[in-house]
């Protein structure tokens, strides 16, 4: 998924992405999410080696971005509006 996803962006878990990440990531995604269901991004936090995603459907719960893919691609222009963009790209 696009790590620069803005609030309201739609993502989903697929048969491929449900197997990504470490054991903790895989367990959480299998317990809470369903393959093919669209979820709404609340925010993402970009780190040096991973990105944490928060979804509106699960307030306070964090997920690994590797467990999701974009439903519709966000434009590269819109990526620049992400709070972390300038820190990692300037």
**Which ranges constitute the DSSP H helices of 42-81?**
76-79
> Other C-beta atoms within 10 Å of 38: how many?
11
**Residue 90, pLDDT above cutoff 90:** no
State how far the Cα of 38 lies from the Cα of 49, in Å rounded to an integer: 25
| Domain layout of the chain by residue ranges | 10-89
Tokens of 78: 């819109």
Query: What is the pLDDT at residue 5?
Result: 98
Query: What is the pLDDT at residue 54?
Result: 98
Render pLDDT for 45-68 as a digit per residue (tens, 0 to 9).
999 999 999 999 999 999 999 999
Mean per-residue pLDDT over the chain, rounded = 96
**Which ranges constitute the DSSP H helices of the chain?**
23-32, 76-79, 85-89
**Which ranges constitute the DSSP H helices of 23-89?**
23-32, 76-79, 85-89
């Amino acid at each position: 998924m696009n790590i620069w996803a803005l609030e309201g962006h739609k993502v989903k878990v697929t048969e491929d992405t449900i197997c990504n990440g470490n054991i903790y990531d895989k367990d959480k995604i299998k317990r809470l999410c369903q393959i093919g269901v669209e979820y709404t991004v609340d925010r993402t936090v970009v780190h040096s080696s991973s990105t944490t995603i928060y979804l509106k459907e699960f307030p306070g719960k964090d997920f690994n971005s590797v467990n999701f893919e974009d439903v519709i691609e966000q434009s590269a222009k819109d990526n620049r509006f992400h709070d972390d963009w300038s820190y990692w790209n300037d």
